[in-house]
Amino acid sequence: MQLFFINIIIPLNDILILPGRLQKSVAKQKVLTYLNNIREKGDTMKKNLYTAAVIITAAILSVASCGRSLYNFAQKSERGKASLVEKSIQAGEHKIVYLESGEDGEVIVLVHGFGGDKDNWTRFSRYINKGYRIIAPDLPGFGESSRIEGAFYDIETQTERLRKFTEILGLKKFHLAGNSMGGWISANYAYRHKEQVLTLTLINAAGITSPVKSEMMALLEKGINPLLVNDLHDYDRLINFLFVKPPYIPGSIKKEFALKAVEHRSFNNKIFHDLHKKPLKLETRLPGIKAPSFVIWGDTDRVLHVSSVRVFTTGIKNSRSYILKGCGHLPMIERPKETAGVFINFISGKGPAD
């Protein structure tokens, strides 16, 4: 009896050090082998051991799926605090999943960056007044929206996919805000569809050449893309690259984020190459943006250098800026209350100073 439990518990113990998504399948395979061997022997003691093993196995498999359950719980909790509800639509060949809060008032469309998703905006959205309707999509190719190998994900194509998305939702006019690649897409949207954009907010936006080269640009010149995650341990490097003071993330939840980043590494790499096969430079388009514009930046951004701010505010005639001291590439996550506060002041007409 003791030997049996040693045989089954030791391999399952090894299973628990595997990444969460692998634990269940590997555990099931190992356990079924043990249990089938026991059941075939057929004596009473073995049958009793079989029953006990099933109970132990159920408990272990429960632990194996704990990380995913905790992740789902935390996600629902964060969305709930901002009254965000998940919805989806079909826009052309892509299914687009999005978060929405509120039904009345002026609309705010929030566009995430490369490797991000709609939940990049949940904490930020918590500080937006209830008088606004918030819509935050997973861009095609990211989050829970469709990933299509044969599709192209350059800025112009993504801009038109976003336009199709707003058309299906019946959005005539709205405040548009984007971070990083999402800022690149948002600026191009404001240039191409002037009649729809009430205001434009660019948060650490891509799309221009900064006067001072960023750390990421220097790495890219060496053939290293710091935004791609190679394995579970590499995720901590990415977090430290994006933030000055990373938000606290419990270990089991961080593992789920890391697993997703590793799982989508290949497709993210494809999208990154698509973005640079047809590199759309915003410098020539900035003067054509007519919407009142607001440029927000973390002064310690290692991805896109803060010197980019002057390029945007010089290029867009009706624009102003706000710099967050000691903040990295994702102000809406690192400093959500402050970022949302200056954003609301801007779109409501109070207008923070440079």
Domain assignment present for residue 69? The answer is no
Q: Which CATH number belongs to the domain containing residue 251 in this structure?
A: 3.40.50.1820
Give yes or no: residues 48 and 133 share one domain.
no
**Low-confidence spans in the chain with pLDDT less than 50:** 1-28, 30-31, 34-35, 38-40, 50, 54, 58-61, 63-64, 353-354
Active site residues: 112, 180
Give yes or no: residues 122 and 209 share one domain.
yes
Give yes or no: residues 254 and 146 share one domain.
yes
Give yes or no: residues 32 and 165 share one domain.
no
Strand bridging mode 197-203 / 85-91: unpaired
Q: Which residues contact 220 (CB under 8 A, 6 or more apart)?
A: none
Q: What domain range includes position 15?
A: 2-64
pLDDT in the model for residue 119 = 97
Can you read off the two tokens belonging to residue 354?
């440079």
Domain assignment present for residue 104? The answer is yes
Per-residue b or e along 306-321, where b marks 16 or more CB atoms closer than 10 Å to that residue's CB? bebbebbbebbeebbb
Domain assignment present for residue 72? The answer is no
pLDDT in the model for residue 44 = 54
pLDDT in the model for residue 239 = 97
Give yes or no: residues 24 and 91 share one domain.
no
pLDDT in the model for residue 278 = 81
Give yes or no: residues 242 and 267 share one domain.
yes
Domain assignment present for residue 353? The answer is no
Number of independent structural domains in the chain: 2
Domain assignment present for residue 354? The answer is no
Calpha distance 11→111 (Å, rounded):
45
Can you read off the two tokens belonging to residue 84?
């965000």
Give yes or no: residues 226 and 318 share one domain.
yes
State which amino acid sits at residue 117: D
Domain assignment present for residue 352? The answer is no
